[in-house]
Amino acid sequence: MSVSRMIKRGVTPLSRTSGILNNYVLKFNKKSSKGDWSFANIEESEGDAVEGIIFGLNESHLEKLDKFEGAPVHYRREKINVISGGNKIECITYVAQNDYIVEGLKPTEDYIKFLIEGSSLLSPDYQKMLESIITKNPTL
């Protein structure tokens, strides 16, 4: 969710707003290829909701992000419907490929800091939830 991380990846978002993805849950079960820690993923889960940031991007931005997200090997792009300001918006997100999903791993502190850095548009309760995630200590 961090704008500075997006910019470091060569992507300057055209816009940024908050959104809610209903009937999904945030999990940290996408195994890193570089160690015994995890990255964020979303999975369908009736009654749950994931808050996040909707970035306005173009196709060249997505192609750059594909490299950093390891798409299509580690993650795949999926179209989802997100609610923002009472409107339904079709968005693209990255979902972990099944071969890279491992339960029981933890994200690193640095990774969670990137999520928290961009969380100012999220609800206070969701920000607190992100801040309470138990992490593994290695840095990225």
Domains of the chain: 3-131 (3.10.490.10)
| Spatial separation of the C-alpha atoms in residues 140 and 95, rounded to whole Å | 20
Query: Where residue 139 falls among pLDDT bands split at 50, 70, 90?
Result: low
Check: CB of residue 115 under 8 Å from CB of residue 2. yes
Query: Does 1 score more than 90 pLDDT?
Result: no
**How confident is the model over 90-133, as pLDDT tens digits?**
999 999 999 999 999 999 999 999 999 989 999 999 999 999 99
Rounded-to-integer distance, Cα 52 and Cα 21, Å? 8
| pLDDT tens string 20-76 | 999 999 999 999 999 999 999 999 999 999 999 999 999 999 999 999 999 999 999
Reduced to 3 states (helix: H, G, I; strand: E, B; else coil), residue 5 is helix
- Measured CA to CA, the distance from residue 132 to residue 7 in angstroms comes to 26
What pLDDT is stored for residue 136 in this prediction? Answer: 85
For residue 129 the two structure tokens come to 């939830």
Q: Give residue 111's pLDDT.
A: 94
Q: Name the DSSP class of 66.
A: H
**8 vs 31, 62, 64, 91, 111, CA distance in Å?**
23, 14, 11, 22, 15
* Per-residue confidence (pLDDT) for residue 126, from 0 to 100: 97
Strand-pair category, 15-31 with 87-96: unpaired
The pLDDT value given to residue 9: 93
Phi, psi of 123 (to 5 degrees): -65, 150
Give me the amino acid identity at 51: E
